[in-house]
Structure 1
Amino acid sequence: MYTQEEAKQIRKKFWTLFGDRCKLVPELRGRKKSWMLYDTKISGVDLKFEAGRNDASVILEVNHRSENRRLEVFEGIQKYKAIIENGFEGGLTWDFCYVRDSGAEVCRIYTSMKGVDIHRQNQWPDIYNFFIENMIRLENNFLAIRDVLKEEIRT
């Protein structure tokens, strides 16, 4: 078992090394930022990485504070499910009421890698490869619908 400080240092090292690993990815070279993440150009829509003690996930999250707006955006994205899921062999998980650890309710579309643990450094290369492969795909799929989605949800 790790102390809180040791666990914090492990997470910090994990994300630092992930950033270094991303610099080696040909698809990410020449970009100002490696990943879109919070800069989706749609308010309340973010792309995220999560790594924990049991799994790792690549996520498209709709986190608008207004529940009505959040569901409206989520439903707008659902119309383009075939495009968002393009290239994801098993599809994605669509959760319109995901509760974060903080208690906040959000909508999530994600893929997860089960059975990995951020505390096991020998698993980091597999997690990094999972993150990179799936986030590139999710970003590209999202970009394919972003402009149309922005127009549709503008009211």
Structure 2
Amino acid sequence: MYSKDQASQLKQAFWTAFGQYISPQLSAEGMRVNWINYKTGIKNLYFRMHADKRSASIGIEITHPDAGIQELFFEQFLELKNILHSYLGEEWEWQLHTTDEYGKTISRISKDVGPVNVFENNDWPKLISFFKPRIIALDEFWSDAKYSFDALK
């Protein structure tokens, strides 16, 4: 078992290593990008990566406080579902109005992998192999799809 400080340091070490590994990768538009803190350009819409001692996930999170607006975003993604899955090369899980770890209502489109443990250095290659192609595919998708969300800004 790790202390809170040790756990935080190990997670930070993983995300730093991942950031260094993926940093040479340019975005679909040929720009440098902060892959770990990806900016969609739309408030309350995030591409998030998460890893803990049991599993890892990557996803699109819609966190708008108004459930109706959240649903409009989700429906827009549903319109683009086949395109999204073609970029990703796989099906993801779709959840309208679920709750996050803080009890806040969000909507999420995500993919999980497990068992993996971010605190085990031996699992880092598996985590990197999980995250890298998916965040790049999300970027490629977003490069084409973001204009579909202009009316919802």
Which position in structure 2 is the counterpart of 1:2?
2
Fraction of identical pairs, as percent:
23
CA shift for structure 1 position 74:
0.8
Aligned length: 152
Runs of 4+ in structure 1 over 3 Å off: 87-90
Report the RMSD for the aligned CA atoms in angstroms. 2.1
Q: In structure 2, what is the Cα distance between the partners aligned to 1:128 and 1:21? A: 9
Task: List runs of 5+ in structure 1 lacking aligned partners.
Answer: none
Q: In structure 2, what is the Cα distance between the partners aligned to 1:84 and 1:108? A: 14
Which position in structure 1 is the counterpart of 2:80?
80
Which position in structure 1 is the counterpart of 2:99?
99
Contact 1:46 1:60 in 2 (8 A): yes
The TM-score with structure 1 as length reference comes to: 0.87
Write out aligned runs for 1:126-137 (5 A).
Answer: 126-137=126-137
Contact 1:77 1:149 in 2 (8 A): no
The TM-score with structure 2 as length reference comes to: 0.88
**Residue 57 in structure 1 maps to residue 57 in structure 2:** yes
Which amino acid in the other structure matches residue 108 of structure 2? Answer: R
Which position in structure 2 is the counterpart of 1:69?
69
Which amino acid in the other structure matches residue 141 of structure 2? Answer: N
Change (3 A) 1:102 1:43: same
CA shift for structure 1 position 149:
2.5
CA shift for structure 1 position 36:
8.1
Deviation digits for residues 39-63 of structure 1 (CA, Å, limit 9, x no counterpart): 2122211111111121111111111
Task: List runs of 5+ in structure 2 lacking aligned partners.
Answer: none
Contact 1:22 1:34 in 2 (8 A): no
Change (3 A) 1:110 1:130: same
Contact 2:19 2:35 in 1 (8 A): no
